Each structure stands twice: as C-alpha cells, then as structure tokens.
C-alpha cells in the first residue's frame, strides 16, 4: 500500500482531573497513554491532548471538538469514571455518543477485577461518535496499562486480553483506517479476511 493511500492515525488524549487541571499535581494520564501508544503501535500517529476539569459540559465540548473538528480516529480519556459525584466522564461520553460499544466497558472491568475488587465501581464506557471510537480508561497509570494490555502471567502469556487488541479492527470497520500493533506488547485481532 502506498503512503498516499494510507491515512495517518490521529488520537485525542483527554485527562479529566480537577486537581491536575488546576496545577495542584502533575497529570500522569496523558504521559502514560502517550508512552504506551509509542511502545504498542507499529504505525506513526498524531496526538492531540487536553487536560480538563471534571465538568460534564467541558468534557462533552472537548470530545465533540476532538471528533468533529480535529478529526481524531480514536479518543482515549483517563479519569473521572468512578461513582463519586464529580466522576462524570462516562455521562459526558454517553451524552455525545451516536452508539454505545458495551463490550469495551465490560472487558475493562474484567481486566481490572484481576487486580482490584473495586473494579466493579468503574463506569467506563466505549462509544462511537461519527467515525471515531471514544474509550474511557481508568485514571491510574498502572491501571491504564493493564486495561490496554490485559492480564499476563509471569512469562508474558496473555490470560485475559486487553481492550486494545480490538481497537485496530474496530477503527477499520468504522473509518477504514488500517493500523497495527506490536504483538510483544498487544496482539491486535482481526479476521483473516480483514488483514492486509
């Protein structure tokens, strides 16, 4: 495939945190996501980042801007997914969604339950808006990596697949973009008929 035909993957990264957005402490979500994506993705990609407070209207506006104006294929949020009153990231995500992708939230909780019993308190969701996939990830850097990569034993064998194994094929289905991952980090799955 020639470079002319290949679209460059554009990813929006949104860290939702009252305190980090006010400078009380340094945001760890965006650096963790960026580092993980650089390790995991085969293809080059562009990143558009936002650090915003836990305000539903601001989260909705940010997601709409990243999808509608900035044309991000994938938007990953971190933070604001628990049961506390200020945790409104899933509510904002669902409010601007065209379609929900419940399997992503189910799998994120499945992965996290291997590490902490409080994973059942997470309200993370996955949705599609226009031709973009939006996924709510946990706020803790360690949990972000676990959710994306899955559960591995001491030899690196995957016991429970991380959500990112389904992301490349999902993006291919909704927008036609073709990306791949490094199998030693996360093996992307797609049917043989969809492979290039």
Domain-embedded: residue 135 = yes
Virtual torsion, Cα 68, 71, 73, 74, nearest 10 deg? -70
Residue 192 in contact with residue 47, Cβ under 8 Å? no
Domain-embedded: residue 115 = yes
Closest to 108 (Cα-Cα) out of 71, 145, 55, 66 = 145
DSSP-based three-state secondary structure for 17: coil
Longest dimension (CA), the chain: 50
CA–CA separation, 98 vs 127, rounded Å? 7
Domain-embedded: residue 2 = no
CA–CA separation, 182 vs 136, rounded Å? 22
Domain-embedded: residue 80 = yes
Q: What is the pLDDT along the chain (196 residues), one digit of tens a residue?
A: 344 446 899 999 999 987 887 877 888 999 999 999 999 999 999 999 999 999 999 999 999 999 999 999 999 999 999 999 999 999 999 999 999 999 999 999 999 999 999 999 999 999 999 999 999 999 899 999 999 999 988 888 888 999 999 999 999 999 999 999 999 999 999 988 878 8
Domain-embedded: residue 18 = yes
Domain-embedded: residue 16 = yes
User: Domain span at residue 189?
Assistant: 9-194
pTM of the model: 0.94
| Number of domains the chain is built from | 1
First to last CA, the chain: 9
Q: What is the CATH number of the domain that holds 102?
A: 3.40.980.10
Q: How far is C-alpha 87 from the chain's CA centre? A: 17
Domain-embedded: residue 3 = no
């Amino acid at each position: 495939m020639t470079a002319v035909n290949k679209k460059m993957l554009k990813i929006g990264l949104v860290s939702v945190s009252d305190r980090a957005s006010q400078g009380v402490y340094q945001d760890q979500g965006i650096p963790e996501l960026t580092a993980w994506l650089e390790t995991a993705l085969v293809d080059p990609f562009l990143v558009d980042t936002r650090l915003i407070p836990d305000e539903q209207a601001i989260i909705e506006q940010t997601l709409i801007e990243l999808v509608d104006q900035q044309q991000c294929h994938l938007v990953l949020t971190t933070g604001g997914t628990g049961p506390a009153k200020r945790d409104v990231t899933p509510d904002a995500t669902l409010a601007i969604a065209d379609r929900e992708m419940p399997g992503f939230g189910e799998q994120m909780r499945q992965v996290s339950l291997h590490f902490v019993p409080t994973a059942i308190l997470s309200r993370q969701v996955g949705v599609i808006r226009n031709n973009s996939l939006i996924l709510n990830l946990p706020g803790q850097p360690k949990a972000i990596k676990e959710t994306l990569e899955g559960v591995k034993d001491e030899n690196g064998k995957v016991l429970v697949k991380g959500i990112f194994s389904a992301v490349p094929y999902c993006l291919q289905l909704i927008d036609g973009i073709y990306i791949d991952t490094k199998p030693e980090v996360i093996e992307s799955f797609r049917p043989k008929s969809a492979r290039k």
